[in-house]
Amino acid sequence: MGTQTRIVVVKGKEIIYTGIFLLMGILLVIVLVNMFGNKKETTTETIGKYKPGVYSSTITLGENTLNVSVAVDKDTITGVTIENLNETVTTMYPLLKPALNEINDQISLVDNVDEITYSKENQYTYIILNQAIKNALKQALADQ
């Protein structure tokens, strides 16, 4: 029995196409692993939500600019105050102080600023203060 030599002809195009499809398949697997693989998430228990300190944000009411200061510790918001609050502002915006007091009463009881409840009569005052608090908290998170 004699063995016969077989000659296989492979065109260059086929080799190039096969290499490209193989490379694309490998890239697809890498992308899928990165998207759906196990990601290590940092827990707030070990790191904390905020960098402790006092952070401020400004709000403008008429011609007056007020600083809303938010004091935070590692995990919670400890208090909210308004600086530059004078008699003119409290006269023009009488709901500002009561709204701030209600926010301070609720702030330690909620996990998120959006969970603070308010009455419909004072909703615009709460919305302004809520947005100022959120802006200050962005600084507390960004400084980590």
Q: How much of the chain, in percent, has pLDDT values that exceed 70?
A: 89
Asked if residue 2 is part of any domain, the answer here is no
For 17, the enclosing helix (H) or strand (E) is helix 12-36
Q: Pick the closest to residue 135 from 61, 36, 51, 55 (CA basis).
A: 55
CATH number at 67 reads: 3.90.1010
pLDDT above 70 for 92: yes
DSSP-derived secondary structure letter, 47: H
At residue 45, the pLDDT reads 46
Range of the domain at 115: 48-142
Q: Is residue 85 in a domain?
A: yes
* Banded model confidence at residue 36, pLDDT cuts 50, 70, 90: confident
Query: Does the pLDDT of residue 23 top 60, yes or no?
Result: yes
Q: How many domains does the chain have?
A: 1
Residue 55 lies in a domain: yes
pLDDT tens sequence across 37-57: 776 654 444 456 788 889 999
